[in-house]
Amino acid sequence: MQKVGIAAAIATLAAGVLVTTPATAQFYMKSKDLRGERVRGDEPGIGQLMPGATADELRAAMVWNLRAALNVAALQCQFEPSLLTVQNYNAILSDHKQELAQSYATLTKYFERTAKTKKEGQNALDQFGTRTYSGFATVAAQYGFCTTTSSIGREALYAPRGSFGEIALGRMREVRNSLTPWGEQQFPRMLVSLTPAFLPRFDKACWKKDQFVTKKCGQPFGTVSYAAR
């Protein structure tokens, strides 16, 4: 009986630890559901156009897109340490380094294959990298982007080696959706109707020194309306 009591106490203590463990940042009462369908890599708005790319090359591009998104998140989301975007990104680089290296090699061969010269292929690869990274910069949608990339980074951290590409294909549309600002979803947005500001006419004939001449121009307010600023 004593052993059972000790085991129950340990289980209760463990459960209490799990309950009190802080969750990752929650910026809204209810966040927008940004999940989307699995991608191939050649859909509009998912990545840069890669004419003539094979399925393996498109997969490599999505791997590099997700790596870029997590890298940008590591830089942009440090304002909320509980998201662990920096720690997760660094761990992913180490844990999935072989797949990342293979994807980069695949991309290199694609641009060399589709360019006239090896130098032009390298330039195209450099441009691909620059445009990919800049495509994940966001300000207005920072909360959604940071929470999404934090979730993906956590999944990738515990994923088996060699499956980073599967995560990229499965969640890249979600990453792209997170670049659009959505805000609070629990409560409807309130629309405030603003009364336009009414100003007097400013014609020189309507004024005598600092007095408005009503005989010439009527009542000073209510005749001409201007959009409120």
Residue 67 predicted with pLDDT over 60: yes
pLDDT in tens, 79-131: 999 999 999 999 999 999 999 999 999 999 999 999 999 999 999 999 999 99
The candidate with the shortest Cα–Cα distance to 128, out of 148, 114, 144, 142, is: 114
Q: Does pTM surpass 0.85?
A: no
Cα dist. 98→94, 109, 129, 197, 201 in Å?
A: 9, 17, 19, 64, 73
What's the CA gap between 26 and 31, in Å, rounded? 8
**Helix orientation angle between 55-76 and 85-95, rounded to the nearest 10 degrees:** 150
CA 118 to chain centre: 34
The DSSP result for 88-133, as a single string, is: HHHHHHHHTHHHHHHHHHHHHHHHHHHSSSHHHHHHHHHHHHHHHH
Are 175 and 148 a contacting pair, CB within 8 Å?
yes
Report phi then psi at 44, rounded to 5: -60, 135
What share of the chain in percent tops pLDDT 90? 62
- In terms of pLDDT, which residue wins out, 205 or 68? 68
pLDDT in tens, 157-182: 999 999 999 999 999 999 999 999 88
Domain ranges of the chain: 55-178, 197-228
Q: How confident is the model at residue 14 (pLDDT cuts 50, 70, 90)?
A: very low
Q: Output the pLDDT for position 20.
A: 38
What's the CA gap between 73 and 151, in Å, rounded? 11
Are 178 and 149 a contacting pair, CB within 8 Å?
yes
